[in-house]
Amino acid sequence: MGEKRKIELDYSQLDSDRMRLNVGPQHPSTHGVLRLEVELDGEIVTDVVPHVGYLHRCFEKHCEKMEYPMVTPYIDRLDYISSMNNEWPFVMGVEKMMGIKVSDKVEYLRVIVSELNRIANHQIAIATFGLDAGAFTPLLWLFRDREMILAILEKLSGGRLLYNYFRVGGMAADVYPTFKEDVLAAIKQARKTNPEILNLLLLNKIFVDRTANVGVLPADVGINYGCTGPMLRGSGVPYDLRKVEPYSIYDRFDFEVQVGKGEVGTVGDCWDRNIVRYREIEQSCNIIEQAINQMPMEGDIKEGFPKKVRPPKGEIYSKAENPKGELGFYIVSEGKNNPERVKCRSTSFVNLSVLPEISKGYMFADLIMILGSIDIVLGEVDR
């Protein structure tokens, strides 16, 4: 609407009282148990300090006491919105240490479930972001579509949110007979709803006014803070592990890395981050469509299972492109049944760290929008 977005005040001239406001840990739009200590001058944010740790569950310490297959269920509980994607880097790392090569069918199945989960994650991200802006209806529409994806993943793994589906050397269960039809139907539905969401929410004049030029993350700041995923791609950096360091079989698919172009405002604002997510839904649909047509339906999904999951002595850093960014596991093995040390490089935590940098000087309502556009899950922040 207006040309001046950034409200600049010379604070030395004003003798106003600042108000310290605790946003959270119980607050409708902190996306979990995050506490933000906000300093407000009227409605303008002068300082933000995120306090994390309300959901800390000692994930890394737990891993040291458990055998490798027992770690996967705990990984589900990190970023509980995209559990399938979470399991992949850990399983992949252990497989690399043990020198296991999984069959093509397993690779394709992993790509399909991960991309399905990526769609589900981005749908939630856009929906809750709309909710932060006060738009209720897109939330319900996107949750309706997500239900189809969850139904597929439930039929595959038995769980609706926490799947525990990846295994070292294979998958927990084979596909069910109508798998292909279900996946194609879910893609069709996602593609049908996407333009509706674009018209209803993303191109809405009010929504554009609220998000354009708000929370601008310059590319160099994003790189310095270690941001990844749609957060960094929204700033115009085409960094996608699926493309720059193709793992698994991602080099076989034809898809584009989406970056923010600043169509309605500055490159790297809240709107850009969301349009990247929106377009990645379409790209994921393309990948799934290619994968489901190439996927061999014969073969035993469990043939690559090792007798005992016991990687040799050594260490590995294994990473994959999560919907929220780069998720990495640093695993140290002493040649025992349980890992000596597991360190998780969690995306949400790193992305959240940039919040104070990009939210000063905006209004309080903008702070909520910026936080929503980062798309954090507190399970992953606190671990």
Partner 1 sequence: MEQNFVNMLIGNPWIAALVIVVLPLVFVVIYALIAILGELKIASFVQERLGPMRTGWKGTMQPVAEVVKLLQKEDITPDAADKPLFNLAPFLMFAAAFAGFAVIPFSPYFLPSGIELGLFYVFAISSLGIVGLVMGGWASNNKYSLLGAMRSAAQIVSYEIPAAMAILSVAALSGSLNLNVISDGQSGWFWNWYIFGGPGPWAKIFVIPFTLGLGLIYLISTLAETNRTPFDIPEGESEIVAGYHTEYSGMKFAMFFFAEYANMFIVAAILTLLFFGGWNSPFGDFLNYWWMQPVWFILKAFFWVFLSIWLRWTLPRLRVDQLMYLSWKVLLPWAFICFFAVGLFVMLK
Site residues, partner 1 (CB under 8 A): 1-2, 7, 19, 21, 27-29, 43, 130-137, 140-141, 144, 200-201, 204, 206-207, 209-210, 363-366, 368, 372
In the complex, least distance from residue 371 CB atom to partner 1, rounded to whole angstroms: 10
- Chain-centre distance for alpha carbon 250: 18
The torsion angles phi and psi of 46, rounded to 5 degrees, stand at -105, -20
Task: Give me the least distance between CB of 381 and partner 1, in Å please.
Answer: 19
Nearest to 383 by CA among 32, 29, 6: 32
- DSSP-based three-state secondary structure for 349: helix
Pairing mode, strands 166-167 and 170-171: antiparallel
Min separation Cβ 2 and partner 1, Å: 6
Nearer to partner 1, 175 or 186 (CB): 186
Residue (161 or 206) nearer to partner 1, CB: 206
Tell the smallest beta-carbon distance from residue 202 to partner 1 (Å).
Answer: 10
- The residue (of 29 and 353) whose beta carbon lies closer to partner 1 is 29
State the minimum distance, in angstroms, from the CB of residue 135 to partner 1. 4
Alpha helices in 158-254 (DSSP H): 179-197, 205-211, 219-225, 230-233, 241-244
Q: Sign (positive/negative) of CA torsion 148, 152, 155, 160? A: negative
Q: To the nearest 10°, report the CA torsion of 361, 364, 370, 371.
A: 130
For residue 53, the tally of other CB atoms under 10 A from its CB is 13
Strand, coil or helix: what is 197?
Answer: helix
Between CA 89 and CA 310 the distance in angstroms is 17
- Sort strands 170-171 and 44-51 into parallel, antiparallel or unpaired: unpaired
Smaller CB separation from partner 1, 198 or 297: 198
Tally the C-alpha atoms within 13 A of residue 355's C-alpha that lie toward its C-beta: 30
Q: To the nearest whole angstrom, how small is the minimum distance from the Cβ of residue 7 to partner 1?
A: 8
Query: Considering the complex, what minimum distance in angstroms separates the CB of residue 232 from partner 1?
Result: 25
**What is the rounded CA–CA span in Å between residue 241 and residue 228?**
10
Q: Looking at beta carbons only, is 132 or 182 nearer to partner 1? A: 132
